Structure 1
Amino acid sequence: MKIQHDLLFADNGKQVPFKATPNMGGTYNPQYLILHYTAATTTESTLNWFPNPIAQASAHLLIGRDGAITQFLPFNRIAWHAGKSEWAGLVGMNKFSIGIELVNGGRLTRSGDKWVCSVDMRKVPDQEVIMAVHKNETHIAAWQEYTENQLEVSTEIAALLISTYNLKDVLGHEDISPIRKSDPGPAFPMASFRSKTMGREDETIDEFITATALNIRSGPATTFPTLTDPLPPGVKVNVLKTETTWSFVEVLENVNGIMDLEGWVSSKFLRRN
């Protein structure tokens, strides 16, 4: 893929489908990439919603469950995807970020013996459902999985956007609006996605293992709540950053039924692998 004049072109050299939206601001220089889920299970609902002036919402790209891509506005124009948000001292992340929406039902509800999307009320097959704890919450819930096609396409596009616009990081809506939003949620492999798209040269350079059963928390102190049951001894983690005696880690294994878990642990209970 390539980007020309702030528009995305596919591997065949043709511009990806473009469906213009009036829901946009002026030109800007993006600094971050923000990922969202649509909270709906079909591409059509978003394709019809973003071009509608009543929506007062948009994103730069939509990636369907089959990997199909639609662009709604050039990457150098402000999209209305973040709402009330802030990160690293920046307030109102629409003015600082490119937004990508992934077709995904997000948090699911139970209806009889089926899982359904709470927005469009469509059934989600059991094989597409995982039970996981959101990193900003403490209870387990059902979430729709992302497809391999979506992850492959979004990884390629994200890496291209990061290199083209020199973006600083990849974030979720849940990071910049943690009280209001939960997307892209625990079904999205954010830690490994960030590593691949940001071009980390050696993903194991900061790899450790837990030396004992170890609590993983939402912040760097014992006053913050735990995210799940303690990590067992011998679990592999990558240390992403440190703060005093605490380390923010990505867990490299499925632990307690949670995929792609990230949180804070006491550094003294980690050992080089």
Structure 2
Amino acid sequence: MKQLFPYGLDAPPVVRNLALCSIACWVLFALSFTTWLPITIKGTQWIGVVFAVGAVSMMWTSRYGKVRRREQLLDRLSWRGNEHVLDIGCGRGLFAVAAARRATQGHVTGVDIWQSEDLSGNGPDAVAINAQREGVAARVDTRTADMRQLPFADQTIDIVVSSTAIHNIYQREGRDQAIDEIVRVLRPGGQVLIDDIRHLPQYAARLRAAGFPFTLTRGIGSWFWRLVSFGTLAPGTLVASKPTR
């Protein structure tokens, strides 16, 4: 599993449930050719295909898609090469490792509380392994910390990145605290990139109140996820910078 998904399988319970639902639909389809069921249920094979495609899509994204996407997202930031980067909710180091390859004279710190239901094999050891594998171990470290109380002094970070992490705080007030902490630790002129599946307008409003100019973009995929999730998911990417005065 570690070799197949070096940066973890995203949302393992969701993948498992999609696979089980697909299997159940195919079993019903097979039973429709027997006399074992009191009624005949037709069309379950197509529902099974949809569930299977969902599971395979999440596995493909976990193995290949998110690695490609991280580079596209980090390209949206300006890099000097000596930045102190903070990766909030770093997981197994997907963004932390990539940022360290760009900050060749800098350093990257990843913080997380390491919830395994969000990512398989989630933990600081996995970050260390991936940093070693990509040749940046000397420039990456991790801390166990809550994003609502970051263990960094004011204005000490050049770049903050966060990928699908802040939405895991269920209370609105807690998400506001996380954004306020980003504002606090960033140096004037510092940059922030937040890629998430929910609550982007809330993050943008909080940063706007702090005087940050920003851009909020959503791809075509955002509308797909809005449709299939009945509006509960609205992926997007927020890029902002802290005023210099």
Q: TM-score range by the shorter chain?
A: under 0.3
Normalised by the length of structure 2, the TM-score is 0.26
Normalised by the length of structure 1, the TM-score is 0.24
Question: If you compute each CA radius of gyration, which structure gives the higher value, 1 or 2?
Answer: 2
